[in-house]
């Protein structure tokens, strides 16, 4: 079980972040080491070359002032002082003939570089070579320099000290790399875990919500900007889901309530007719009532489907240039007989055409629902005023009434499906007219807002994008 958990860690984001952090840290450290190593090696070898090169003028002066024998003695003493296994000297002619050499027993059959002599004959003051001696572990650095007429001094220095120093440097760095990788892995794991704390909390919250804790939210305090944005967005999403779930529950309850009433009436009429009915007229009356209730149910279901389709953006819209002034004017004329029968005046204040691009039947349905709603809640002697104008690329439709009005607490809810204000429960209706009107407006890129004052009336404002000139 423990091994399985350990193996599963390699699939986690924290492990991958740690791996990348440690990898980048190791690569960066290795690159820094290479730079430092080559710079150090360059400085060490350069210092050694300069030290050997400084000996050429000294021995040249000694040869010119005190002669060859004194030079030989000085070279022998220098070789013995440095160690014949570490240093050797040879005096050569320009043709490569050996005139003198220190103890060469430790250097085997180390030859003379003919290419170096050639370069000296061509005018070079000195030539460096690095050679591998088969009998020795470390390479040798050789300098050829002119010290007199037809006299060339060959100086050989073992690179053992340099190589040992660089070897110590490599070992120290190797140990340091191991420590740095371990430390980088630990720091990377710590930083990754710390950075992902917010993500883990979001995950835990999602798990709790899946178990039924719908009120859980992610804390957004003391978070980095990215995690804070994630937590805030997640919380907003949860709030929206909570609103949708609450709305669905309310809608389900409302549907159950509104469907129960006509179904109960159908069952009651049918049962009573079957129990007490004696004449054909009673059965005809039952059939008529059943059809009316069924029509009411079908209207409710169809309206709900229209609202859902409009909100989801899947409704089939037949788009064309539509004159809103004409639509509103014709709607007012359509409701005029009903308004006169109720004793309500309908006034249309429309001065000029205002075009929108939309489905004329849907738009007519929207305007009709608004006028029907106004007429329904405006008592006898009241007035309904409909007007159309344009404002900043928008066509604006106003529907004002002097009806019973809506309380401020209920105004935000009037566009919800099946919502019925307290004052409207005595009126016929299913509470879907305004919901459908809003869905149609938003399907056309517009919106509907409402303001109301109880006892004074209400105002509904429809805004739709203005179309170009008629096509």
Q: What is the CATH number of the domain that holds 176?
A: 3.30.450.20
In contact, 291 and 267? CB cutoff 8 Å: no
Cβ neighbours of residue 96 under 8 Å, at least 6 residues apart? 112, 114, 117
User: In the structure encoding, which two tokens stand for residue 284, read together?
Assistant: 């005809």
Residues 79 and 62 in one domain: yes
- CA atoms lying within 13 Å on the CB side of residue 154: 25
DSSP element (H, E) containing 356:
strand 355-359
- Boundary residue ending a domain (310, 342, 367): 310
As for how many domains the chain has, the answer is 3
User: In the structure encoding, which two tokens stand for residue 297, read together?
Assistant: 């149910």
Main-chain dihedrals φ then ψ at residue 226, nearest 5 degrees: -65, -45
Residues 296 and 357 in one domain: no
Residue 206 lies in a domain: no
Phi-psi region for residue 88, left (φ > 0), alpha (ψ -120 to 50) or beta?
A: beta
Residue by residue, pLDDT tens for the chain (471 residues) are 444 544 455 556 666 767 777 777 778 878 888 888 888 888 888 888 899 899 999 999 998 999 999 989 999 999 899 888 889 999 999 888 989 999 888 887 888 888 988 898 888 889 999 888 887 888 899 999 999 888 999 999 998 888 888 888 888 888 887 887 777 777 777 766 666 666 667 777 777 777 777 677 766 666 666 667 777 777 787 777 777 677 666 666 666 666 676 777 777 777 777 777 667 777 777 788 778 777 777 777 776 667 666 666 656 778 889 899 999 999 999 999 999 999 999 998 887 888 999 888 889 989 999 999 899 889 999 999 999 998 888 999 999 999 888 888 888 888 877 666 655 444 555 667 888 888 889 888 999 999 988 888 999 999 999 986 554
Long-range contacts formed by 410-416: CB under 8 A, 24+ apart: 411/450, 411/451, 411/452, 414/450, 415/448, 415/450, 416/247, 416/250
This model's pTM is above 0.75 = no
DSSP class of residue 12 equals S
Q: Which residue has the tokens 């027993």?
A: 105
- By CB neighbour count within 10 A (0-12 exposed, 13-18 middle, 19+ buried), where does 461 fall? middle
Residues 48 and 191 in one domain: yes
User: In the structure encoding, which two tokens stand for residue 271, read together?
Assistant: 């049962």
Residues 445 and 387 in one domain: yes
In contact, 434 and 373? CB cutoff 8 Å: yes
Q: Where are the beta strands (DSSP E) in 159-220?
A: none
Residues 84 and 176 in one domain: yes
Residues 158 and 52 in one domain: yes
Domain that holds residue 229: 225-310
Residues 300 and 323 in one domain: no
Residues 45 and 64 in one domain: yes
CATH number reported for the structural domain that contains residue 290 in this entry: 1.10.287
Q: How far is 11 from 14, CA to CA, in rounded Å?
A: 9
Main-chain dihedrals φ then ψ at residue 13, nearest 5 degrees: -65, -35
Cβ neighbours of residue 185 under 8 Å, at least 6 residues apart? 18, 21, 22
Radius of gyration of the chain (CA): 50
Cβ neighbours of residue 86 under 8 Å, at least 6 residues apart? 157, 158, 160
Cα maximum dimension of the chain: 157
Q: How far is 148 from 112, CA to CA, in rounded Å?
A: 18
In contact, 320 and 374? CB cutoff 8 Å: no
């Amino acid at each position: 079980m423990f091994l399985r958990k350990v193996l599963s860690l390699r699939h986690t984001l924290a492990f991958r972040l740690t791996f990348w952090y440690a990898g980048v840290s190791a690569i960066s450290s290795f690159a820094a080491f290479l730079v430092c190593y080559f710079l150090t090696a360059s400085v060490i070898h350069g210092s050694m070359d300069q030290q050997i090169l400084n000996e050429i003028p000294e021995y040249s002066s000694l040869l010119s002032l005190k002669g060859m024998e004194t030079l030989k003695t000085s070279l022998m003493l220098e070789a013995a002082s440095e160690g014949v296994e570490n240093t050797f000297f040879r005096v050569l002619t320009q043709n490569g003939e050996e005139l003198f050499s220190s103890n060469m027993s430790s250097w085997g059959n180390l030859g003379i570089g003919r290419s170096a002599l050639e370069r000296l004959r061509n005018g070079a003051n000195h030539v460096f070579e690095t050679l591998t001696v088969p009998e020795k572990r470390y390479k040798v650095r050789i300098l050829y320099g002119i010290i007199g007429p037809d006299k060339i001094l060959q100086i050989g220095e073992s690179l053992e000290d340099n190589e040992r120093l660089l070897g110590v440097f490599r070992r120290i760095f190797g140990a340091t790399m191991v420590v740095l990788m371990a430390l980088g892995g630990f720091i990377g794991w710590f930083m990754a875990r710390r950075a992902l704390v917010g993500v883990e909390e979001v995950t835990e919250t999602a798990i709790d919500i899946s178990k039924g804790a719908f009120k859980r939210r992610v804390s957004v305090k003391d978070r980095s900007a990215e995690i804070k944005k994630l937590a805030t967005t997640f919380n907003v999403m949860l709030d929206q889901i909570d609103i949708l779930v609450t709305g669905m529950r309310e809608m389900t309850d409302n549907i159950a309530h509104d469907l129960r009433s006509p179904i109960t009436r159908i069952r009651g009429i049918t049962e009573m007719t079957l129990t007490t009915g004696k004449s054909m007229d009673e059965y005809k009356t039952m059939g008529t009532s059943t059809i009316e209730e069924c029509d009411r149910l079908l209207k409710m279901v169809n309206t709900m489907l229209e609202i859902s389709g409009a909100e989801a953006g899947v409704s089939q819209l037949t788009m064309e240039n539509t004159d809103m002034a004409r639509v509103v004017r014709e709607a007012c004329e359509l409701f005029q007989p009903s308004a006169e029968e109720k004793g309500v005046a309908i006034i249309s204040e429309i001065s000029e055409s205002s075009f929108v691009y939309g489905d004329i039947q849907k738009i007519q349905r929207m305007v009709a629902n608004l006028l029907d709603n106004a007429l329904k809640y405006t008592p006898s002697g009241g007035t309904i005023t409909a007007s159309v104008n344009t404002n900043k690329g928008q066509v604006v439709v106003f529907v004002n009434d002097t009806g019973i009005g809506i309380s401020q607490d209920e105004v935000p809810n009037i566009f919800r499906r099946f919502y019925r204000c307290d004052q409207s429960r005595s009126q016929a209706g299913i509470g879907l007219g305004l919901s459908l009107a809003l869905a149609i407006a938003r399907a056309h890129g517009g919106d509907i807002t409402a303001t109301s004052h109880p006892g004074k009336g209400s105002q509904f404002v429809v805004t739709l994008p203005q179309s170009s000139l008629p096509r």
